[in-house]
Structure 1
Amino acid sequence: KRTITLDLSAPTGRDALLRLAATTDVIIENFRPGTLEKWGLGPAELSAVNPRLVLARVTGFGQSGPYAHRPGFGTLAEAMSGFAAITGEPEGPPTLPPFGLADSIAALATAYAVMTALAARATTGRGQVVDMAIIEPILTVLGPQPLWYDQLGYVQPRTGNRSRNNAPRNTYRTADNAWVAVSTSAQSVAERVMRLVGRPELIDEPWFATGSGRAEHADELDEAVGHWIGRRTRDEALAAFEKAEAAIAPVYDVRDVMTDPQYRALDTITEVPDPELGPLRMQNVLFRLSETPGAIRWAGRPHNADTEAVLTEAGLSPSEIAALRATGGTR
């Protein structure tokens, strides 16, 4: 990534962007609908200089519809998608995530959409517009709730850490005041957990044979698992579950993430050089490719650091860049 500044509302800034767009594969923008068009940089103008361009437009509510011109943020998507309504304790308020969940999901969905558009371009030779509304990807990953309601009239309630599909599934406090999370999405794992915590007789109960049946008896199962874990330290509980091939994980904060051996083995938190601050530790590239692995070259470029280099590569002469600065098109 490189960083440049352009004032797109200035005619010279607009013209500079069109010069850049002529040799660009993808432009991503997140202005309110109509803003690019107001500056004379809408899809028609951009496509005219580069018919192969993919323009990804990310907004809160999309490019059309009654809410299109409202200010849109991830928090609103987390509320409107149904996420907040099903998150939290049953008697507590709807709960929002303490980070940009909807924004992050929308970013991943946008990357996928752009790659899809580029794949289509390889066949058609033409670019296209990607219309990404932040309210949509998070709704998609929440699962079949619309179908449940449409066919069964079912509205998923808040259940805290519990699941309506299986049990035991919760977080449990250990004897040394740490927390662990247990999941029994597979029947065989649920049976191993019950044997481990000394309650094998529950396996013979008719309701234990299905995830939904176990979920209906979550109080009893949670009591059994919680009592067993509560008498052991976190390390003891983790070791016993691992030996029994049952699914458990410690509840980490960021300090634990930074020292976990699995994250270290994957280089999930990697060291990146910084000329001013020295080595920085941060999240690595999201995935590993066997033939073309990626890497983080720098943590972040100073604001406006690459304007002159990028514009020169786009074909602007020194006098044109100077005129661009003089007219307020860039800094």
Structure 2
Amino acid sequence: MTLLALPLDGIRVIDFSRVLAGPLCSALLGDLGAEVIKIEPPGGDDYRAIGPFSGGESGLFSAMNRNKQSVVIDLKRDEGRALAQALCAQADVVVENFRPGVAERLGIDYAQLAAHNPALVYASVSGFGQTGPESHRPAYDIILQAMCGLMDATGLPDGAPTLVGDSVSDVVSGIFASWGVLAALLARERTGKGTHVDVAMFDATLSLTAAQVARYATTGIAPQRVGNRHPSSAPFGAYRAKDGYFVVAVLNNRLFERFAHALGQPALVDDARFANDAARCENEAVLRACIEAWSGIRSIDEVNTLLSEAGIPVAPIQNIRDALESEQARERGLLVETSSSGGGTMRLPRQPVQFSAWPATRTTRAPRLGEHTLAVLQRQLGVDATHIDALCAAGVLGVDKTVSMPNETIQEMNDA
């Protein structure tokens, strides 16, 4: 049995995607050991120009393009398309997030590439998928949050629909795309055949709201905004303490009895208004007043200590700094310090799954634009340096002029 350095060791990915959903998909594959070759236009991925910046590098680009090599090819030129097609002929996976129809015009759609590489797994991430009346619409995260019911279900009952505080449609689409690629690779091991993985952000975002979808499928009624509480359980939400807010999650009568005693209000257990979860949810406002009469004179730390000691699921409401700098996050290694292209160091997110067979997955810096054009084309296709220079002069290729050793990041990946 071959011992793999990482789960996807030996898998080669050609990544034509840009911005967030597609790059996250390929980054997750790179985390697991896949060789990811990112094909960028001469101007680079748009995310390279989006802040915040550290040492001249975009933090967003760095996070979504860790573990990759950058090759600059102008796909609008015949010579560029031929080189891209040749790279794809040797690949296991292709990832793209063009609007439907664009990849075909560029000569890198599934049908054209699979004709020369039937084992290819080809993942397309788009706003609405490759089929359907909306398929050719452009899509951004806010569009999908609006169209999939996520905004409508988020916020206070008497307030406006509210965006979830991150690009969750992009992120979940990238995660589902990587999941689809892995399933297709597993099937290929059995059949020898690749497939087209079609991921629509619309579909993925609806799948993200699994509980909402289940409620609607069962009742035919669209869920309504309920603010910082659970729509069908209580007490299950955010409550006020003397110095801020905390959350509790009480989901059954046994836990509610323990909760009532922790509050010093055992009579709540025998109150018909709180006899079961449905009754507590219906009378949530009254129950909230009882809880906040107790918590409102105590600090968040005191509330968390008292309720934790009673075995009640409770937590303070933290910001992202609190979460990432916590001892729990440090122990789990969720941020990894790695070298930056400028010679310093930077922290990058590590994929969250841990495997007993491997001590760690891979997290190396994002590449400079065109950093690996020379190395990849020489190694994969045998293109000589003179020809590459001529193609660079003609604007077909781009090479990072600061690279003295083209294999720098490749070696870092091999050593990781």
If the length of structure 1 is used for normalisation, what is the TM-score? 0.93
**Alpha-carbon shift at residue 191 of structure 1 (Å):** 2.4
Cα separation, partners in 2 of 1:277 and 1:129, compared to 1, 3 Å: same
Instruction: Between 139-148 and 245-254, report the one with greater CA deviation.
Output: 139-148
Q: Structure 1: which 5+ residue stretches go unaligned? A: none
User: Deviating runs (4+, > 6 A) in structure 1?
Assistant: none
SS in 1 for 2:210: coil
Partner amino acid for 1:316? G
* 1:69-108 CA distance string (max 9 Å, x none): 1111121111111111111100111111232011111111
Higher normalized strand content (fraction of residues): 2
> How far apart, CA to CA, are the structure 2 residues paired with 1:95 and 1:107?
22
Name the structure, 1 or 2, with higher relative contact order (CA <8 Å, separation 6+): 1
Please, which of 24, 39, 50 is the counterpart of residue 117 of structure 2?
A: 50
Partner amino acid for 1:280? M
Correspondence 1:160-171 to 2 at 5 A? 160-171=227-238
Please, which of 190, 207, 210 is the counterpart of residue 256 of structure 2?
A: 190
> Is the 1:168–1:222 Cα contact (8 Å) retained in structure 2?
yes
Please, which of 298, 301, 304 is the counterpart of residue 238 of structure 1?
A: 304
SS in 2 for 1:237: helix
**Alpha-carbon shift at residue 131 of structure 1 (Å):** 0.7
Cα separation, partners in 2 of 1:213 and 1:94, compared to 1, 3 Å: same
| Number of residues of Structure 1 aligned to a counterpart in Structure 2 | 330
Q: Which residue of 2 aligns with 1:326?
A: 393
Correspondence 1:123-202 to 2 at 5 A? 123-146=190-213, 148-175=215-242, 177-202=243-268
Q: Which residue of 2 aligns with 1:266?
A: 332
Instruction: Between 56-65 and 185-194, report the one with greater CA deviation.
Output: 185-194
Cα separation, partners in 2 of 1:113 and 1:209, compared to 1, 3 Å: farther
Please, which of 356, 375, 378 is the counterpart of residue 290 of structure 1?
A: 356
> How far apart, CA to CA, are the structure 1 residues paired with 2:186 and 2:141?
28
**Alpha-carbon shift at residue 145 of structure 1 (Å):** 4.0
**Alpha-carbon shift at residue 151 of structure 1 (Å):** 4.8
Please, which of 89, 104, 111 is the counterpart of residue 156 of structure 2?
A: 89
Please, which of 8, 16, 19 is the counterpart of residue 86 of structure 2?
A: 19
> Is the 2:341–2:367 Cα contact (8 Å) retained in structure 1?
no
Q: Structure 2: which 5+ residue stretches go unaligned? A: 1-67, 399-416
Cα separation, partners in 2 of 1:190 and 1:303, compared to 1, 3 Å: farther
> Is the 1:167–1:215 Cα contact (8 Å) retained in structure 2?
yes
> How far apart, CA to CA, are the structure 2 residues paired with 1:269 and 1:225?
37
- Please tell me whether residue 217 in structure 1 is matched to residue 283 in structure 2: yes
If the length of structure 2 is used for normalisation, what is the TM-score? 0.75
Correspondence 1:61-140 to 2 at 5 A? 61-140=128-207
CA RMSD of aligned residues (A): 1.9
- Please tell me whether residue 279 in structure 1 is matched to residue 345 in structure 2: yes
**Alpha-carbon shift at residue 209 of structure 1 (Å):** 4.4
Identity %: 32
> How far apart, CA to CA, are the structure 2 residues paired with 1:156 and 1:18?
47
Q: Which residue of 1 aligns with 2:317?
A: 251
> How far apart, CA to CA, are the structure 2 residues paired with 1:312 and 1:227?
71
Cα separation, partners in 2 of 1:325 and 1:128, compared to 1, 3 Å: same
**Alpha-carbon shift at residue 147 of structure 1 (Å):** 5.2
